[in-house]
Amino acid sequence: MDMKLGTTLKIKGKIADDVDGFVINLGQGTDKLDLHFNPRFSESTIVCNSWDGNQWGQEQREDHICFGPGSEVQFTVTFKSDIFKVKLPDGHQLTFPNRLCHSHLSYLSVSGGFNISSFKLD
């Protein structure tokens, strides 16, 4: 992946029926995650964090969870120099700081029961 500052990632997919959550990671690789986006259905929350080689940052929790198992959803993530703007399927927007201060992201991973149907960088 080649995501530069000012770029927006649009990711569409279906959440599996039998999952408690899923993870979307953006960063430089498995050891440098600028945005860890982790909806947790049993907690009715979205956890965002960053991973810098050997430690997690401070969790940021958002209680606005407008989707669940079995949903078809679209998320957009806008990559700015200071923040990530994540737009949820109902239009609600959350922000997360660009703590690692990267200006280019080359890594995207999705796990835990989110099946991607399409993704696009604009």
Q: What is the pLDDT of residues 34-56, one digit of tens each?
A: 999 999 999 999 999 999 988 99
- The structural domain count of the chain equals 1
The pLDDT confidence band at residue 9, using thresholds 50, 70 and 90, is: very high
Query: CA triplet 93, 98, 99: central angle to 5 degrees?
Result: 130
What is the reported pLDDT for 76?
A: 98
**Residues 58-67, mean pLDDT to the nearest whole number:** 96
> Which structural domain range is residue 100 located in?
3-121
Query: Diameter of the chain by CA atoms?
Result: 36
What is the reported pLDDT for 46?
A: 98
In this structure, what CATH number is given to the domain that contains residue 104? 2.60.120.200
Of 109, 19, 8, which Cα lies nearest the Cα of 71?
Answer: 19
What is the reported pLDDT for 82?
A: 97
- In the numeric block, the tokens 């995501």 are attached to 3
- In the numeric block, the tokens 């890594």 are attached to 107
Of 90, 61, 96, 93, which Cα lies nearest the Cα of 73?
Answer: 90
Percent of all residues in the chain with a pLDDT value above 90, rounded to a whole number: 98
